[in-house]
């Protein structure tokens, strides 16, 4: 994308006024998307985003500028703008020597999106539309979207780092609306991986579409969710978002260093049930949060955050590592070249526990079984977090019974982690997600076995 000698000159120029670090992050991204709604392929769209973000750090101050002009002149202008905000008045020459890192590619891409005819991508949408509508006359509307992207990334900095990545993403989403006497209900399924079109060789998209349709139809007979505190069982492969919100964000070193997290100062302490081992791993092949390098050029890795309930470490990016004198963990991420990197999760999951999932439900006299969760959010300082349930059932006398209408669940992170009293042995990764923080969205994965929280507040309307 950019010649090495150009990068070396731009970086050298960026620190000539006394800054102690400069970085160029360049990306070239091509994306294709197609949307079907109301039985029509409404539109196929394609786009190209190409540019570089330049970061210059002097002490505690970061200057940042970006440009869509990748010529040496364009990069130099952006570097000057970034350096103007982070300078200490020196004027000196500094030579930067970059050492290209060997490629780290956790994913093997078989069919690059560009090699697949657009007609085949659009055909998937017609198939899922037909499959969803075939489930029942109650299905009154279906919308589906296909998206792929191919992103080349290059990161170089004044510490000599020079690394690149090639990230492919493929995604298919289906949403169905069912109508009945009691109004309308919705069903939603999404499939996404950091691989190419080969994902559709192993996943039956018709099944996915039928699942979305069945979910909507099932909810037509749903009753209002209960209200109050009660045991909640969460199905495997859907509740990773609970950990993402209950503790994931609170373990990001930027919140820790500002003492804006309930987990600050707790390394080595028991913060969760001894059943819980929590890992963030950016190297899992094919998963939505997987990368070869993070967006600061650091090779991704597997980080154990909580082991048998004991807090072992936080997640780190370049700035927080520098300040905390701690190694980077491959968690420096950004939405695009137009954004500053910060500490972010990759794929965050809880390892298997001892229990048979069937026993977990059977051991619960009454409560709620959540089969699919929606999004969530957390206040890292207070620890209060919410997440939505988009498919849930009552548990009565140890059995899953009636479907429930949508609602939020609310809990306090440290309390909920201690209240996990059963953990299944059926680990599964969940659906692709987008994690939002400080206005930036990045793709993340999550996973967990079936588990039970002894007490969570269910936000329904029934007594």
Partner 1 sequence: MSTALLAIADRVVEQAAPGEQVEAFVSRGGETEIRVYGGEIEHFVSAESEGIGIRVIRDGRTGFAYAGTLDEAAVSEVLEQARVNLQFGTSDEFAALAEPDGVAVTAQTLWNDELASFPTDRKIDLAKELERLGASFDARVRVDDANYADAHAEAAVASTTGIRTAGRENGCYVSLSTLADDGDGDAAETQTGFGFSVGRHPDEFDLERAAKDASDRATRLLGATKPTSRRLTVVFDPFVTAQFLGVISSTLNGEAVVKGRSLFRDRLGDTVAAPGFTLVDDPTNPLAYTATDVDGEGLAARRNVLVDDGVLQRFVHNSYSARRAGAASTGNAVRGGFAGTPGVGCLALSLVPGTRSQAELVADVDDGLLVQQVQGIHSGVNPISGDFSTGAAGLLISGGEVGAPVREFTIASTLQRMLLDVVEVGGDLEWLPMRSAGMSLVIRDVTMSGA
Looking only at residues 87 through 106 of this chain, which bind partner 1 when binding is defined by CB under 8 A?
none
> For residue 438, what are the CA distances in angstroms to 93, 344, 388, 442?
36, 11, 21, 11
**Stretch 196-255 residues interacting with partner 1 (CB under 8 A):** 219, 225, 227-229
Site for partner 1 contains 322 (CB under 8 A): no
Site for partner 1 contains 267 (CB under 8 A): no
Helix (H) or strand (E) holding 22, with range, is strand 21-37
Cross-strand pairs, 279:
304, 349
The torsion region of residue 280 among left (phi > 0), alpha (psi -120 to 50) and beta comes to beta
* Separation between Cα atoms, residue 456 and residue 440, nearest integer Å: 29
Site for partner 1 contains 382 (CB under 8 A): yes
Pick 277 or 393: Cβ nearer partner 1: 393
Angle at 292 between CA 286 and CA 298, to 5 degrees: 145
Sign of CA dihedral 9, 10, 13, 14: negative
- Piece of 165-173, 310-318, 355-363, 455-463 that binds partner 1 (CB under 8 A): 455-463
Site for partner 1 contains 66 (CB under 8 A): yes
Site for partner 1 contains 81 (CB under 8 A): yes
Angle at 27 between CA 23 and CA 32, to 5 degrees: 160
Smallest gap from residue 463 Cβ to partner 1 (A): 8
Site for partner 1 contains 258 (CB under 8 A): yes
Q: How many residues bind partner 1 (CB under 8 A)?
A: 82
Pick from 94, 374, 425, 454 the residue near partner 1 by CB under 8 A.
374
Pick from 64, 288, 316, 369 the residue near partner 1 by CB under 8 A.
64
**Stretch 326-355 residues interacting with partner 1 (CB under 8 A):** 338, 340
Site for partner 1 contains 137 (CB under 8 A): no
3-state secondary structure of 67: strand
**Stretch 292-321 residues interacting with partner 1 (CB under 8 A):** none
Smallest gap from residue 445 Cβ to partner 1 (A): 18
Pairing of the two strands 139-157 and 440-448: unpaired
Could you give phi then psi for residue 361, rounded to 5 degrees?
Answer: -65, -45
Smallest gap from residue 416 Cβ to partner 1 (A): 11
Pick from 106, 297, 388, 403 the residue near partner 1 by CB under 8 A.
388
Site for partner 1 contains 367 (CB under 8 A): no
x/- string (CB under 8 A) for partner 1, residues 161-200? ----------------x-x---xxxx--------------
Site for partner 1 contains 270 (CB under 8 A): no
* Separation between Cα atoms, residue 284 and residue 430, nearest integer Å: 13
* Separation between Cα atoms, residue 334 and residue 340, nearest integer Å: 6
């Amino acid at each position: 994308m950019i010649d090495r000698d150009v990068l070396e000159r731009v970086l050298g120029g960026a620190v000539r006024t006394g800054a102690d670090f400069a970085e160029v992050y360049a990306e070239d991204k091509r994306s294709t998307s197609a949307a079907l709604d109301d039985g029509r392929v409404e539109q196929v769209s394609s786009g190209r985003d190409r540019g570089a973000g330049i970061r210059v750090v002097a002490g505690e101050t970061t200057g940042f500028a970006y440009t869509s002009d990748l010529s040496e002149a364009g990069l130099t202008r952006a570097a000057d703008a970034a350096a103007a905000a982070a300078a200490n008045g020196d004027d000196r020459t500094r030579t930067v020597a970059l050492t290209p890192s060997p490629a780290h590619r956790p994913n093997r891409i078989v069919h690059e999106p560009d090699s697949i005819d657009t007609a085949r991508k659009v055909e998937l949408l017609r198939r899922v539309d037909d499959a969803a509508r075939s489930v029942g006359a109650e299905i009154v509307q279906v919308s589906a979207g296909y998206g792929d992207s191919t992103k080349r990334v290059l990161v170089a900095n004044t510490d000599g780092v020079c690394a690149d990545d090639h990230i492919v993403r493929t995604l298919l989403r289906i949403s169905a609306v069912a109508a009945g006497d009691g109004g309308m209900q919705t069903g939603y399924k999404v499939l996404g991986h950091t691989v190419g079109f080969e994902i559709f060789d192993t996943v039956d998209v018709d099944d996915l579409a039928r699942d979305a349709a069945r979910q909507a139809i099932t909810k037509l007979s749903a009753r209002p969710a209960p209200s109050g505190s009660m045991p909640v069982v969460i199905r495997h492969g859907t509740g990773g978002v609970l950990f993402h919100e209950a503790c994931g964000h609170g373990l990001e070193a930027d919140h820790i260093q500002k003492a804006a997290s309930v987990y600050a100062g707790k390394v080595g302490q028991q913060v969760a049930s001894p059943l819980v081992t929590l890992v963030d791993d950016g190297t899992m092949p094919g998963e939505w949060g997987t990368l070869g390098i993070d967006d600061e050029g650091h090779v991704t890795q597997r980080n154990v955050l909580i082991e048998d309930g004991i807090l072992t470490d936080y997640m780190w990016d370049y700035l927080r590592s520098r300040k905390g004198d701690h190694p980077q963990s491959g968690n420096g991420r950004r939405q695009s070249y137009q954004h500053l990197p910060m500490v972010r999760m990759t794929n965050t999951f809880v390892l298997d526990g001892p229990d048979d999932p069937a026993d977990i439900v059977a051991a619960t006299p009454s409560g709620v079984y959540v089969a699919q969760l929606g999004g969530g959010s957390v206040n890292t300082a207070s620890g209060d977090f919410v997440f939505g349930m988009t498919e849930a059932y009552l548990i009565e006398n140890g059995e899953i019974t009636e479907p429930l209408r949508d609602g939020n669940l609310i809990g306090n992170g440290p309390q909920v982690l201690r209240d996990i009293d059963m953990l299944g042995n059926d680990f599964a990764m969940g659906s692709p997600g987008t994690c939002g923080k400080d206005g930036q969205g990045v793709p993340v994965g999550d996973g967990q076995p079936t588990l039970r929280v002894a007490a969570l507040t269910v936000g329904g309307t029934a007594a």
